[in-house]
Amino acid sequence: MTMQGNGMGAEPATTSFGPSALATPANAITALRLLLAPVLFSMILDDVASWPAFAMWVVLAGSDGIDGWVARRMGTTRSGAFLDPLADKVLALGGLWAMVLGGRFWWLPVVLTTLREVVISAFRSYWVRKGLAVQASNVAKAKTFLQFSSVTLVVFPLTHDIHWLADVCLWAGVLVAWVSGVQYVTAGSRATSSMSSD
């Protein structure tokens, strides 16, 4: 058991950052994901299914868990709370639109996915101005997983030709995205009503 505050047997404290910190290791990882995203999209457009694009996609999509882990250990920040989901949206929507431009995905499900993100972002901005923060649900996390998975199934050379699998995953992501969107709006509206009645 770690002893703290008495100088006996205590382990060195991990460097921590306050809520207003910007230059943090977690933010550095997130910023790197954002900077490398255009490179990844260019690789996908050049060759929709390739091992280099797959490797890059796995690193950028999988590093979301790494920056979250680092943030939890060293202190979560307001900038990280904004940048981390932004990086996820850039990767997910960018990957989906790269598939549309590459002729692999139909534009309709990707437009529906993009529309959902725009609508929810507008609601989120409105509620933030009112001092209200609505947490993402597990359904929203499933939405992101399905979006990432649909792109993964296309860029991975061994599953690239199984078109129906990626298409089912994509449409499932659309359904889950709008279900989570309705949940988000409902939760936010209830919280706003509660604030108004206090």
C-alpha span between 127 and 195 (Å, rounded): 11
pLDDT at residue 138 is higher than 70: yes
pLDDT tens across 66-87, in order? 766 776 776 666 666 667 788 8
pLDDT at 79: 63
pLDDT tens across 31-50, in order? 889 999 999 999 999 999 99
DSSP single-letter state for residue 17? -
**pTM score, two decimals?**
0.81
pLDDT at 38: 95
